[in-house]
Structure 1
């Protein structure tokens, strides 16, 4: 019997990636995209690359969990899918940090206050899970892990939530965050200099 029989992670395959390809084409052929300030330009480049990576690993992880749910308990699919989600969560955290850096830069490349607040709320949901992923070995070394607590990223039996330690992240929340990150990446990729 499989651990999960479904995965409720939203399907994000419809989002156009890689955004970086369109961004580079705009830079080369239309002189659109980028930014005149080298620091902001570097933030934008890094942000678009991270957003593409986050979406790729999300889609790969979702696909593997769906395959696992339909399998005869091919556990390797479960572990590989969860590994992709670990990478996705860490990369989303980087994306959110970059949005904060861009938004607070004196030459803000167009991140509105309302959008910034939305990203800050996503940061509050993502950071504890990401930190638990990155620092679980310290909790183990200090004997701070309670019996029955997941020491690696896991998915709940109903297939709706990722969890590690005492922290949880709904697939729906992660999917919504990724949609907003992608929307911003597309806007940054096509903006005028």
Structure 2
């Protein structure tokens, strides 16, 4: 995937602050500190396009990034960080749901989960809700560099049993080794209808 350009556009807390819906968008959602920002940086081959932090709950806005002047990647607020202020926690759900429900140019989502963690109630609810809305969604298991290949596949099988999904429903991803980067771009191309050569 040849990235010719990638730029931050804006941050928003409500629809009135979103950029015009003039490009197809693909969004990334997941628990705080699951690696959304690192994943986007890896996808666009930029070290610091998206600000990363060791502090969970850092992303509290909807952040838009224009790639190759033909599509946007959208970093949604991380959820599930118990130490975040209560008023911030209350904003996350409506902010994420509002974007997904009302954004007409949203083509699909990637639901990120740390491969070291079991699926929790939040992920199950989000996945069921997205499926009920017929929203294209792919599950990404992040931080796969923490495991050997065999240990990683064992984790996938454990998650298959836990969720009832197929092993092929999961994308294994590491922002450090770039594992899964091309797989994600193939799905982005499929979701947006933009040929990979154009991305």
Higher Cα radius of gyration: 1
Higher relative contact order (CA 8 A, sep 6+): 1
Structure with a larger share of its residues in strand: 2
TM over 0.5: no
